[in-house]
């Protein structure tokens, strides 16, 4: 076998579902036409937070198609919010859910779809990527449950980079690294295929190029467009390829200790790459190649990602985002107990070391460096 193709053609299963993606500045205005195209006429509009302002203009444009609104979105979708959202859909006799916002708005729409089977049209305003996946999440009593169901995957996604201009620099940096994590794990996740690999490498290149420009000037529409393009590729990669130790740590530690979602992803990513570096070297060479083509010439992709985060002011220590040092050992035990498919076998002691490194924020080290 030719060496450079070995990593992707030594066997794979590729499965992805059809979705319609409409991308470009000003495309929010096309949502009513997309609703008509789907044959729907009673829209429940889901949007909370500052991004609800975009939904206000959409509400006007929808006219008589607007059947109701739901504003109370909450991160990680507490079951009470899921119930209230489903009630709102029933009361409105909705035949379509349109969500405008980050992963929290998309999550509320998915909760409705999970119960009712209603289709979703998603208009994302962050880089989280939930709009491209069949993954739903619900939280009850502080415990988050995650599952997959084809009914929650939006049928149509409208990406309008103008809606991301208001995302502050710090949220843009953290959310961008959340997307970056989907791409990097997609390179070695169980569902990786030649197509996801190509997409993931392109996404790393797009985000690594765009995020420094976005943070330097949040109103730079060209940079915003490139970042949102990277986020689309990231969400798709997560949905198709799956995940490994990085996402498991973020879900378990972020969920159990109520840490901000995108920030946990940002902190953990360089350490998760270092953890897997010697076990997925061909896959991670692609991340390195993408970083180099974006002008980040570090010794390996773990250090490159860490340097990118320093440059864009993304969170780099678990201490700074609220994890107490005394919780590290129990967090490591919970991650090890959760079980996962990952290139490097999961060992509680090694996870604890990873979390300690991420807690202090020392430069990430692979086994070879230690
Ligand atoms: N199911 C999946 O596949 C998947 C994938 C990624 C994330 N998620 C979930 O998504 C959630 C996190 O998503 P998120 O990071 O987008 O958080 P979020 O939706 O809560 O948004 C973060 C913050 O940014 C604000 N915001 C969003 N867009 C804005 C804009 N354009 N301008 C100004 N402010 C804006 C929000 O009001 C909020 O305060 C978590 O619950 C996570 O588990 C799910």
How do the domains of the chain map onto residue ranges? 20-164, 170-369
50 lines ligand 1 (CB under 6 A): yes
186 lines ligand 1 (CB under 6 A): no
Q: Topology of domain 20-164, per CATH?
A: Rossmann fold (3.40.50)
129 lines ligand 1 (CB under 6 A): yes
Q: Whose CA is nearest to atom 27 of ligand 1?
A: 102
- Per-residue pLDDT tens for 313-370? 999 999 999 999 999 999 999 999 988 899 999 989 999 999 999 999 999 986 656 5
100 CA from centroid of ligand 1 (Å): 10
163 lines ligand 1 (CB under 6 A): yes
144 CA from centroid of ligand 1 (Å): 16
75 lines ligand 1 (CB under 6 A): yes
106 CA from centroid of ligand 1 (Å): 8
pLDDT of residue 5: 57
Do 247 and 206 touch, CB atoms closer than 8 A?
no
HEC profile of the chain: CCHHHHHHHCCCCCCCCCCEEEECCCHHHHHHHHHHHCCCCCEEEECCCCCHHHHHHHHHHHHHHEEEEECCCCCCCEHHHHHHHHHHHHHCCCCEEEEEECHHHHHHHHHHHHHHCCCEEEEECCCCCHHHCCEEEEEECCEEEEEECHHHCCCEEEECHHHHCCCCHHHHHHHHHHHHHHHHHHHHCCCCCHHHHHHHHHHHHHHHHHHHHHHHCCCCHHHHHHHHHHHHHHHHHHHHHCCCHHHHHHHHHHHHCCCCHHHHHHHHHHHHHHHHCCCCHHHHHHHHHHHHHCCCCCCCHHHHHHHHHHHHCCCCCCHHHCCCHHHHHHHHHHHHHHCCCCCCCCCHHHHHHHHHHHHHCCCCCCHHHC
Q: Whose CA is nearest to atom 28 of ligand 1?
A: 125
3-state helix, strand, coil in the chain (%, to 5): 60, 10, 30
Atom of ligand 1 nearest to the CA of 136: 1
- Per-residue pLDDT tens for 24-62? 999 999 999 999 999 999 999 999 989 889 999 999 999
How far is Cα 26 from Cα 225, in angstroms, rounded to an integer?
A: 11
pTM of this structure: 0.96
Q: pLDDT band at residue 1, thresholds of 50, 70 and 90?
A: low
Distance of CA 210 to the CA centre of its chain: 16
Higher model confidence: residue 263 or residue 139?
263
What's the rounded mean pLDDT across residues 145-149? Answer: 93
pLDDT of residue 12: 86
Tell me the CATH architecture of domain 170-369: Up-down Bundle (1.20)
Strand order in the sheet with 96-101: 20-23, 156-159, 120-124, 96-101, 43-46, 66-70
pLDDT of residue 369: 62
């Amino acid at each position: 076998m030719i060496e450079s193709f070995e990593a992707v053609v030594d066997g794979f299963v590729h499965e992805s579902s059809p979705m319609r993606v409409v991308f470009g500045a000003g495309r929010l205005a096309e949502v009513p036409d997309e609703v008509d195209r789907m044959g729907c006429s009673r829209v429940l509009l889901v949007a909370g937070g500052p991004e609800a302002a975009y939904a206000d203009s959409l509400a006007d444009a929808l006219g008589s198609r607007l059947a109701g609104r739901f504003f109370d979105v909450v991160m990680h979708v507490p079951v009470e919010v899921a119930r209230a959202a489903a009630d709102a859909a029933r009361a409105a006799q909705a035949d379509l859910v349109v969500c405008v916002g980050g992963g929290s708005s998309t999550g509320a729409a998915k909760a409705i779809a999970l119960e009712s089977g209603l289709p979703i049209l998603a208009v994302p305003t962050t880089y989280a990527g939930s709009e491209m996946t069949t993954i739903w999440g619900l939280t009850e009593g502080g415990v988050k449950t995650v599952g997959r169901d084809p009914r929650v995957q939006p049928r149509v996604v409208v990406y309008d980079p103008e809606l991301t201009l208001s995302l502050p620099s710090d949220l843009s940096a953290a959310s961008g690294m959340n997307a970056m994590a989907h791409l990097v794990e997609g390179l070695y996740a169980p569902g990786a295929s030649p197509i996801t690999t190509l997409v993931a490498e392109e996404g790393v290149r797009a985000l690594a190029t765009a995020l420094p420009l976005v943070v330097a000037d949040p109103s730079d529409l060209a940079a915003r467009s490139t970042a949102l393009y990277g986020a689309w590729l990231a969400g798709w990669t997560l949905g198709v390829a799956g995940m490994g130790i990085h996402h498991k740590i973020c879900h378990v530690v972020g969920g159990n200790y109520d840490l901000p979602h995108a920030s946990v992803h940002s902190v953990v990513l360089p350490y998760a790459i270092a953890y897997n570096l010697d076990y997925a070297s061909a896959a991670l060479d692609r991340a390195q190649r993408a970083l180099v083509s974006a002008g980040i010439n570090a010794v390996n992709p773990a250090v490159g990602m860490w340097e990118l985060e320093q440059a864009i002011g993304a969170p780099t220590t678990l201490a700074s985002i609220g994890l107490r040092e005394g919780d590290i050992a129990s967090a490591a035990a919970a991650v090890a107990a959760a079980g996962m498919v990952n290139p490097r076998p999961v060992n509680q002691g090694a996870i604890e070391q990873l979390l300690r490194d991420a807690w202090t924020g020392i430069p990430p080290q692979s086994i070879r460096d230690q």
